[in-house]
Amino acid sequence: MGCFDSVMVPCPKCGKKHEFQSKSGRCCLDEYELADAPSDVMENVNRHAPRECECGCLYKVDEATRTPIEVGVAEKNEKMAQQYRTLAATMLEDLARKVLDGEVTTVQFSWDGGAGLKITTR
Ligand SMILES: [Zn+2]
């Protein structure tokens, strides 16, 4: 349960290695380098990709060539959009619960310039 194998993949920009977890291999908590990872482990290596390095580079593994590659702007934006969607959904659920509990009776959404969306409750 909850087991996986790890492949250490260097960042294409700064070279720092990060752990990529895969669940497609034997999942015995084995740790591999990109060059020696078995192909069954490689199948699932991008399970949590793209991965962000401390240097700001967002990357994944090109499975065919076993090469770390920086992802493009579209993929970066998609990942960010997913994070925002999750965050917004969590905030709205929390707000809905407060309304149902009678803790909040008025909800007002407004655009607060640079600060973004502003939610006022009473
Ligand atoms: Zn890096």
Do 53 and 13 belong together in one domain?
A: yes
- Which is more confident, 118 or 89? 89
| Cα 13 to averaged position of ligand 1 atoms, centre (Å) | 5
| Cα 30 to averaged position of ligand 1 atoms, centre (Å) | 23
Do 78 and 94 belong together in one domain?
A: yes
Q: Which domain holds residue 114?
A: 74-121
Do 29 and 86 belong together in one domain?
A: no
Do 86 and 99 belong together in one domain?
A: yes
Do 65 and 53 belong together in one domain?
A: yes
Do 49 and 84 belong together in one domain?
A: no
Q: How far apart are the first and last CA of the chain?
A: 45
Do 47 and 79 belong together in one domain?
A: no
The answer to whether 8 and 36 have CB atoms below 8 angstroms apart is no
| Cα 85 to averaged position of ligand 1 atoms, centre (Å) | 26
Whether residue 118 is predicted with pLDDT greater than 90 in this model: the reply is no
Of the residues 71, 89, 111, the one at which a domain ends: 71
Mean pLDDT, rounded, for 53-75: 91
Structural domain count, the chain? 2
Q: What is the pTM of this model?
A: 0.62
| Cα 119 to averaged position of ligand 1 atoms, centre (Å) | 36
Residues in the 5 Å CB sphere of ion ligand 1 = 11, 13-14, 16, 53, 55, 57
Do 67 and 78 belong together in one domain?
A: no
Please list the helix, strand and coil fractions of the chain in percent, rounded to the nearest 5, in that order: 30, 30, 40
For residue range 86-99, list pLDDT tens digits in order: 998 999 999 999 99
The rounded distance, in Å, linking the Cα atoms of 105 and 71 is 44
